[in-house]
């Protein structure tokens, strides 16, 4: 697990937005990533370190679950947070909206990137990402997707592209990522769950 950030202060802010359905403008700062929108702030917090606020966010992450039939796509934090803790290349993060934990995901600096790109050392992988079942279909997935390039710029500084694979039978995932700025760059047949789309987005570096 990364120890670069302790989740205290957000770092990429999206200001001037109209809420999860409106446009947002990224503003780079130091720390985690957040979006200030009309209906509250959405922030991505790295779940590294042992500060009380981080331990509280980790507990909130563990309580989040997707729908049971969606677990095949993302698993759940109860499983994937300990797995991330055990792997120094993985950085778990929490999605918060208006102070409420609404989603969870993991940024992986290695994973199966060598199956997705010829330059795995210049890439990062999004995995285990989901919005809690009771918070879905409200724009949080789309908003979190927009914030990911800023978060990755901080936790995997060598990365220029953030990749993911999403099952072709998961239209909500494909639409949320597309709305968040990811583009489809091919097909992936690994993983055993059927064909997946490979999507990627440019990482927001500190120069922006």
Ligand X SMILES: CC(C)(COP(=O)(O)OP(=O)(O)OC[C@H]1O[C@@H](n2cnc3c(N)ncnc32)[C@H](O)[C@@H]1OP(=O)(O)O)[C@@H](O)C(=O)NCCC(=O)NCCS
* CA distance to 97, 98, 125, 151, 157, per residue, from 77 (Å): 17, 20, 17, 19, 24
Query: Could you tell me the smallest distance in angstroms from the CB atom of residue 177 to ligand X?
Result: 7
**Residue 179 touching ligand X (CB under 6 A):** yes
**Residue 160 touching ligand X (CB under 6 A):** no
**Residue 166 touching ligand X (CB under 6 A):** yes
**Residue 117 touching ligand X (CB under 6 A):** no
**Residue 35 touching ligand X (CB under 6 A):** no
Token duo for residue 132: 């809690």
Token duo for residue 153: 């710029």
Q: Which residue is nearest to ligand X (CB)?
A: 141
Closer to ligand X by CB, 41 or 205: give it.
41
**Residues 51-60: b if buried by 16+ CB within 10 A, e if exposed:** eeebeebbeb
Which of 126, 142, 119 has the alpha carbon at shortest distance from 196? 126
Query: Could you tell me the smallest distance in angstroms from the CB atom of residue 146 to ligand X?
Result: 10
**Residue 200 touching ligand X (CB under 6 A):** no
CA gap 36, 19 in Å, rounded: 8
**Residue 163 touching ligand X (CB under 6 A):** no
Strands 40-46 and 100-108: unpaired
**Residue 170 touching ligand X (CB under 6 A):** yes
CA gap 21, 127 in Å, rounded: 24
Number of residues that bind ligand X (CB under 6 A): 23
**Residue 66 touching ligand X (CB under 6 A):** yes
**Residue 131 touching ligand X (CB under 6 A):** yes
Taking the alpha carbons at both ends of the chain, their separation in whole angstroms is 26
Mark the segment that binds ligand X (CB under 6 A) among 6-14, 83-91, 112-120, 173-181: 173-181
DSSP state of 97: E
**Residue 111 touching ligand X (CB under 6 A):** no
Which residue ranges make up the site for ligand X (CB under 6 A)? Answer: 66, 70, 73-74, 129-131, 136-142, 164, 166, 170-173, 175-176, 179
């Amino acid at each position: 697990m990364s120890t670069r950030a302790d989740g205290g202060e957000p770092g990429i802010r999206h200001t001037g937005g109209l809420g999860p359905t409106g446009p947002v403008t990224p503003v780079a700062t130091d720390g985690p990533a957040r979006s200030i929108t009309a209906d509250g702030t959405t922030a991505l917090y790295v779940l590294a370190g042992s500060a009380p606020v981080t331990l509280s966010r980790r507990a909130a992450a563990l309580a989040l679950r997707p729908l049971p039939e969606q677990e095949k796509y993302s698993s759940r934090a109860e499983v994937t947070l300990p797995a991330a803790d055990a792997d120094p290349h993985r950085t778990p993060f929490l999605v918060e909206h208006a102070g409420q934990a609404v989603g969870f995901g993991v940024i992986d600096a290695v994973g199966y990137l060598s199956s997705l790109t010829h330059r795995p050392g210049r890439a990062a992988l999004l995995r285990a990402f989901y919005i809690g079942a009771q918070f879905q279909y409200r724009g949080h997935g789309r908003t979190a997707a927009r914030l990911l390039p800023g978060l990755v710029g901080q936790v995997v500084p060598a990365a220029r592209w953030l990749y993911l694979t999403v099952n072709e039978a998961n239209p909500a995932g494909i639409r949320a990522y597309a709305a968040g700025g990811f583009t489809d760059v091919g097909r992936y047949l690994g993983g055993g769950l059927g064909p997946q789309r490979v999507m990627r987005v440019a990482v927001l570096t500190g120069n922006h």
